[in-house]
Amino acid sequence: MQRIVVFEQGGSADAKILGIRERGRDLRIERVVSIEACLPEVVDEAEDYLPDRLDADLVLDFLRHPDITQALALRCRDLGIPVVASGRRLQIEGLMCPPT
């Protein structure tokens, strides 16, 4: 069973989460981290929006803020957890950015 942690802003992953729960074989969403705060254009301390602990086999990033996406990708790289962040243009080891 693959453990997935989903990061989202303002319900941006609701449909994807539902699809995984209904159709995902050997996939289990362990946690959904939803960032509901009104964010400034630039987030200097993006790590503050991430949980202290991250236990997952895969992270799905549906965040809208690029600073938090980058902080998440760097933390997951350091932990050896692959991240899928559709539509992003970052080049960080372990980050997969398929086109949307």
**What is the residue range of 16's domain?**
2-96
Which tokens is 59 given?
Answer: 């992270």
**pLDDT on residue 78:** 94
Low-confidence ranges of the chain (pLDDT < 50): none
Q: Where are the beta strands (DSSP E) in the chain?
A: 2-9, 27-35, 58-62, 83-84, 95-96
Would you say 19 and 32 are in contact if contact means Cβ atoms under 8 Å apart? no
CATH number at residue 88: 3.40.50.720
**pLDDT on residue 100:** 61
**pLDDT on residue 98:** 72
Closest residue by Cα to residue 69 from 59, 58, 78: 59
Closest residue by Cα to residue 64 from 47, 44, 86: 86
Give the count of domains, the chain. 1
**pLDDT on residue 56:** 96
**pLDDT on residue 51:** 95
